Amino acid sequence: MRCLGLLCLFAACGDNLEGDDLQGGSATIVDRSALAFTHPMPNLDVDQLERHNLGHGPFAFRWTPPQLGPLFNHDSCVQCHVNNGRGLSQIGPGVVGSPALIRISLPTGTPAVPGGQVPVPGLGLQLQDHATFGLPEVNVALTWVEFEDFFGDGTGIMLREPRLVVTRANGDPMPQGIDLSYRQAPALVGVGLLEAISDDTLLALADPDDADGDGISGRVNLAWDEQSRSTRVGRFGRKAGMPRLVEQAASAFVNDMGLTNKIFPEPDGMTRDVNDQQLVDSAFHIATLAVPAAAPRDAIAVRGRELFQEFGCVGCHVAVHVTGEHEIPQLSDQTIRPYTDLLLHDMGEGLADLRADFLASGSEWRTPPLWGIGLAQLVSPETTFLHDGRARTFSEAILWHGGEAIARREAFRMASRADREALLAFLATL
């Protein structure tokens, strides 16, 4: 989706914003519509804008054989990131391409890369539930189990969690002892700015031993960078298992669509389905997507922002960062408001998938950014929240918080109805 006509003029009005409205610094645009996540940053020059638009091509293209597959989850990036928003929690033969996926690994053995996960023989590290011809690797049946929970005032709320039944498509049993992690695609809001936050900033925020005694012990993940052949601070993916956007894009091409590329080529080391320029332009396109301005806040939403602080949500969802240096100059030295520390936190047994990811344990997840979350269900009406899409509302998402977030969850649970609604109103403005 590219910025055209009057909408482009409207979207470029970021210079009139100030303070908390400027969620993406000078990369902020004014649009709270269903297309809010689709605009280029308004501060790009002419050549950069052309490159941004070129990168949209391979990102939006619906790939076909012989490039696609032969095993895949979906055939296009935008099918999992509709309007650059969150993917839907859907998987299996009942959908034409799966916007969600299942990561797999073995708990012991030789990892695929230093410090990484152990591939399952014959299946690798991700299951593909579709094929261009013949049978896919697996069949997946997804169902939901619901139960009732209660707020402190006795108000009931229905929560749900996924149940997956995974079988080999050829009738063979699945290997025993596999660790599985079911995940939906995150939104792409401001990912270039997140990449520009310096490693030093994240390391300074980390408190792995909870030295300050606040009950929060966030830590960085250290992930393998295939291009530099070194370990670096991770920041992308549900468990911060990817250090850089270009590698995240390359991994999605090869794992989700079966498209080899320069970072993950064919076994001969040379042949690739996505050419080198397409890969770097796709990563540039994603990195230069704008961030929508926050919505105006009435007195209720302003109260909700105060409660966000009082409840302690800012302990993980750190509001403000200043970016460091980046190869795209417009991403450098920006004051942004993503509401994340990009660190790993133990979220408790309820959300645990029991699958490690580099340093991340089975119960640890990266703090997701909250900018744009108020638009998530406008951008993609069927979207849901948390790593596997179990939460249909903000309230459900908060009530699933455990581990380090228990005190924050209970503050919300025990709050008055008016205060709960105020906090939700604040989140809706992000």
- Let me know if residue 210 belongs to a domain: no
Entry pTM:
0.93
**Kind and range of the H or E element at 41?**
none
Q: Tell the burial category of 4 from Cβ atoms under 10 Å away from its Cβ (0-12, 13-18, 19+).
A: exposed
- Let me know if residue 339 belongs to a domain: yes
Sequence-ordered alpha helix ranges (H) in 288-400: 299-310, 376-379, 394-399
The Cα–Cα gap between 123 and 172 comes to: 13
Q: Are residues 141 and 73 in the same domain?
A: yes
Q: Of the residues 284, 303, 320, which one is the last residue of a structural domain? A: 284
What is the separation of C-alpha 223 from the centre of its chain, rounded to a whole number of angstroms? Answer: 16
Q: Are residues 241 and 373 in the same domain?
A: no
Q: What is the CATH number of the domain that holds 329?
A: 1.10.760
The Cα–Cα gap between 167 and 138 comes to: 6
The Cα–Cα gap between 344 and 91 comes to: 26
The Cα–Cα gap between 2 and 23 comes to: 21
- Let me know if residue 407 belongs to a domain: yes
pLDDT for the residue 15: 47
| pLDDT above 50: residue 1 | no
pLDDT for the residue 270: 85
The Cα–Cα gap between 183 and 407 comes to: 26
| pLDDT above 80: residue 412 | yes
pLDDT tens per residue across span 292-347: 999 999 999 999 999 999 999 999 999 999 999 999 999 999 999 999 999 999 99
What is the residue whose two structure tokens read 């503050």?
411
Total count of domains within the chain: 2
CA-atom Rg of the chain in angstroms? 21
The Cα–Cα gap between 282 and 367 comes to: 25
The Cα–Cα gap between 81 and 100 comes to: 10
pLDDT tens per residue across span 221-231: 999 999 999 99
The Cα–Cα gap between 92 and 362 comes to: 24
- Let me know if residue 202 belongs to a domain: no
pLDDT for the residue 393: 98
Q: How many CB atoms lie within 10 A of CB 28?
A: 28
Residues 6+ apart with CB under 8 A from 19: none
**Domain, as residue range, for 253:** 57-185+236-284
Q: Are residues 275 and 149 in the same domain?
A: yes
| pLDDT above 90: residue 4 | no
Q: Are residues 256 and 300 in the same domain?
A: no
Q: Are residues 257 and 299 in the same domain?
A: no
- 410: pLDDT confidence band, cut at 50, 70 and 90? very high
Closest by CA to 103, choosing from 85, 116, 114, 86, is 116
Q: Are residues 161 and 127 in the same domain?
A: yes
Q: Are residues 257 and 383 in the same domain?
A: no
pLDDT tens per residue across span 143-198: 999 999 999 999 999 999 999 999 999 888 899 999 999 999 999 999 999 999 99
**Strand pairing partners for 184?**
100
Q: Are residues 241 and 97 in the same domain?
A: yes
CB 80 within 8 Å of CB 389: no
3-state helix, strand, coil in the chain (%, to 5): 30, 20, 50
pLDDT tens per residue across span 33-71: 999 999 999 999 999 999 999 999 999 999 999 999 999
pLDDT for the residue 232: 97
Least confident of 81-95, 97-111, 140-154: 81-95
Q: Of the residues 219, 252, 284, which one is the last residue of a structural domain? A: 284
Q: Are residues 311 and 382 in the same domain?
A: yes
pLDDT for the residue 13: 45
Q: Report the amino acid identity of residue 32.
A: R
pLDDT for the residue 90: 95
DSSP codes joined into one string, 128-157: --EESSS--SEEEEEEEEEEEEE-TTS-EE
- Let me know if residue 193 belongs to a domain: no
What is the separation of C-alpha 243 from the centre of its chain, rounded to a whole number of angstroms? Answer: 13
| Average pLDDT of the residues in 244-267 | 96
Mean pLDDT (the chain, rounded):
94
CB 424 within 8 Å of CB 396: no
pLDDT for the residue 16: 53
Q: Are residues 42 and 63 in the same domain?
A: no
CB 399 within 8 Å of CB 283: no
The Cα–Cα gap between 190 and 342 comes to: 13
pLDDT for the residue 224: 97
pLDDT for the residue 10: 41
pLDDT for the residue 5: 33
What is the residue whose two structure tokens read 């080529």?
265
Q: Are residues 275 and 293 in the same domain?
A: no
The Cα–Cα gap between 351 and 347 comes to: 6
Q: Are residues 243 and 278 in the same domain?
A: yes
Q: Of the residues 284, 299, 316, which one is the last residue of a structural domain? A: 284
**Kind and range of the H or E element at 59?**
helix 46-60
pLDDT for the residue 11: 42
